[in-house]
């Protein structure tokens, strides 16, 4: 019967797996990673909070697609928390961690990845339901969307806890991986292949939907004289989610391939030299997503800008209200009605931005 090592610290497992002074960063390398990590995390917290607040504030975003988009922003926010925890528990500190603390460190990262991945998969289903009917938004009820969001996080938490629940090598040292010294190589192979297969499926689904929309749009454009912007709206939303998916695949695939190679016990692949940089690349995905939202969606950018502008405007007017009368009030006039597909060119101040809110959504 194999001996189990639940009471050992991580230095025991690092030594057993013959890892070359893993995570012992020194000098400029450590400083660069920590500086970039700190900047990225601050940006992740602020930008994704703005995205969530924009969806809550603007009633034009009260549709299943945007609820799921806000949940993706929440997953990115969670990824920032996971990385902050990692920064305080990496480097020389790694070898001093207990088994449970190391499981928590990795579990947070795995949970954030799974939450983003499953959320993108659900968005793919939502887009399929709506686009195949040539609608801007699906008919999912709020109850169903809430259930989906709860399910996404339940799956993410479960997948992040799988190694803790037993799929590890604490009782079989020979099966331990190099990158994750208490993870079984079989689990890394399962984890990597599962995620890569889901990547491939989503890419195929989005390409199929995009081709369908383009074909239908071309047919409609030759037989109808309706609004060009209205015909382009499904295509614009598809471009947004395809850009999000593309960024996710590009940022996470290298890290998953490295984990797969480690799971396959590739001793000559040099994975130790690149793993930390691929981790930073994965973190970069949570930085890119809010930029994609605002760049691809004029209404999202306008709402975020008005929130920032109104906040600074309120502070400025508090300071000079006794001298300068306010001629333009920053106010929210979001009402239910039609979503303006191509967006309205937003003003550079709150008053101009609010003019864009006065339509029916």
Mean pLDDT computed over 285-300: 82
SS3 assignment, position 184? strand
When pLDDT is cut at 50, 70 and 90, the band that residue 25 belongs to is: low
With the C-alpha atoms ordered 341, 347, 352, 353, is the resulting torsion angle positive or negative? Answer: positive
Kindly report, residue by residue over 56-100, the tens digit of the pLDDT. 988 888 888 889 999 999 999 999 999 899 888 877 788 888 999
Mean pLDDT computed over 33-55: 87
Mean pLDDT computed over 312-321: 50
Task: Quote the pLDDT of residue 112.
Answer: 92
Percent of the chain exceeding pLDDT 70 equals 74
Percent of the chain exceeding pLDDT 90 equals 23
Alpha carbon distance 131, 213 (integer Å): 7
Q: Which of 115-124, 146-155, 288-297, 319-328 has the lowest mean pLDDT?
A: 319-328
Alpha carbon distance 20, 225 (integer Å): 67
Task: Quote the pLDDT of residue 348.
Answer: 34
Q: 303 or 74: whose pLDDT is higher?
A: 74
Residue in 252, 213, 274, 283 with CA at minimum distance from that of residue 40: 283
Q: What is the distance of C-alpha 71 from the center of its chain?
A: 9
DSSP string, 250-305: HHHHHHHHHHHHHHTT-TTS-GGGTHHHHHHHHHHHHHHHHHHHHHH-HHHHHHHH
Mean pLDDT computed over 220-229: 54
User: In the numeric block, which tokens belong to residue 198?
Assistant: 């889901």
Kindly report, residue by residue over 328-339, the tens digit of the pLDDT. 333 333 433 333
Mean pLDDT computed over 306-320: 61
From residue 206, how far is each of 127, 199, 202, 214, 240 by CA, in Å? 9, 11, 6, 12, 11
Domains of the chain: 10-222+231-309 (1.20.1070.10)
pLDDT surpassing 90 at residue 149: yes
With the C-alpha atoms ordered 236, 240, 245, 247, is the resulting torsion angle positive or negative? Answer: positive
Per the CB < 8 A criterion, the answer to whether 306 and 354 are in contact is yes
User: In the numeric block, which tokens belong to residue 150?
Assistant: 């709860």
When pLDDT is cut at 50, 70 and 90, the band that residue 351 belongs to is: very low
Q: 297 or 333: whose pLDDT is higher?
A: 297
When pLDDT is cut at 50, 70 and 90, the band that residue 278 belongs to is: confident
Residue 184, phi then psi, degrees to nearest 5:
-70, 145
Under DSSP, the state recorded for 312 is H
User: In the numeric block, which tokens belong to residue 102?
Assistant: 């190391």
Mean pLDDT computed over 286-306: 82
SS3 assignment, position 176? strand
Residue 200, phi then psi, degrees to nearest 5:
-60, -45
Query: What average pLDDT is seen over the chain?
Result: 76
Alpha carbon distance 186, 165 (integer Å): 15
Task: Quote the pLDDT of residue 19.
Answer: 63
Under DSSP, the state recorded for 98 is B
Task: Quote the pLDDT of residue 60.
Answer: 85
pLDDT surpassing 70 at residue 253: yes
When pLDDT is cut at 50, 70 and 90, the band that residue 107 belongs to is: very high
When pLDDT is cut at 50, 70 and 90, the band that residue 161 belongs to is: very high
pLDDT surpassing 70 at residue 316: no
Task: Quote the pLDDT of residue 343.
Answer: 35
- Number of H-type helices and E-type strands within the chain: 10, 0
Mean pLDDT computed over 265-269: 78
pTM score above 0.85 = no
When pLDDT is cut at 50, 70 and 90, the band that residue 350 belongs to is: very low
Residue with tokens 């502008």: 309
Under DSSP, the state recorded for 347 is P
Per the CB < 8 A criterion, the answer to whether 103 and 163 are in contact is yes
Residue in 309, 323, 316 with CA at minimum distance from that of residue 351: 309
CA angle 135, 140, 143 (to 5 degrees): 160
When pLDDT is cut at 50, 70 and 90, the band that residue 130 belongs to is: confident
Question: What separation, in Å, do the N-terminal and C-terminal C-alpha atoms of the chain show?
Answer: 67
């Amino acid at each position: 019967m194999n001996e189990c090592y639940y009471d050992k610290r991580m230095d025991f497992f690092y030594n057993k797996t013959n890892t070359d002074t893993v995570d012992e960063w020194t000098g400029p390398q450590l400083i660069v990673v920590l500086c970039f990590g700190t900047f990225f995390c601050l940006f992740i917290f602020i930008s994704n909070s703005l995205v969530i607040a924009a969806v809550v504030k603007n009633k034009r975003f009260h549709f299943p697609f945007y609820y799921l988009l806000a949940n993706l922003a929440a997953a990115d926010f969670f990824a920032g928390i996971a990385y902050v925890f990692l920064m305080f528990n990496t480097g020389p500190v790694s070898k001093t961690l207990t088994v449970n603390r190391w499981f928590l460190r990795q579990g947070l990262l795995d949970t954030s990845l799974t939450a983003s991945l499953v959320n993108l998969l659900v968005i793919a289903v939502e887009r399929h339901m709506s686009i195949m009917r040539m609608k801007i938004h699906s008919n999912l009820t709020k109850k169903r969307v809430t259930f989906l969001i709860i399910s996404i996080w339940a799956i993410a938490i479960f997948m992040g806890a799988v190694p803790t629940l037993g799929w590890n090598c604490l009782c079989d040292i020979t099966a331990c991986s190099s990158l994750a010294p208490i993870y079984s190589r079989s689990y890394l192979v399962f984890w990597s292949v599962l995620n890569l297969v889901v990547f491939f499926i989503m890419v195929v689904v989005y390409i199929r939907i995009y081709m369908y929309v383009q074909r239908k749009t071309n047919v409609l454009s030759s037989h109808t004289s309706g609004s060009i912007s209205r015909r382009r709206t499904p295509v614009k939303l598809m471009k947004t989610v395809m850009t999000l998916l593309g960024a996710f695949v590009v940022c996470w695939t290298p890290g998953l391939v490295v984990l797969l190679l480690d799971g396959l016990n590739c001793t000559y692949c040099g994975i130790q030299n690149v793993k930390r940089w691929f981790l930073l690349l994965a973190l970069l995905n949570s930085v890119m997503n809010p930029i994609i939202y605002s760049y691809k969606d004029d209404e999202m950018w306008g709402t975020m800008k008005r929130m920032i502008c109104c906040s600074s405007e309120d502070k400025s007017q508090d300071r000079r209200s006794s001298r300068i009368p306010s001629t333009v009030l920053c106010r929210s006039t979001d009402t239910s009605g039609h979503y303006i597909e191509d967006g309205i060119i937003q003003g550079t101040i709150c008053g101009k931005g609010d003019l864009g809110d006065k339509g029916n959504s």
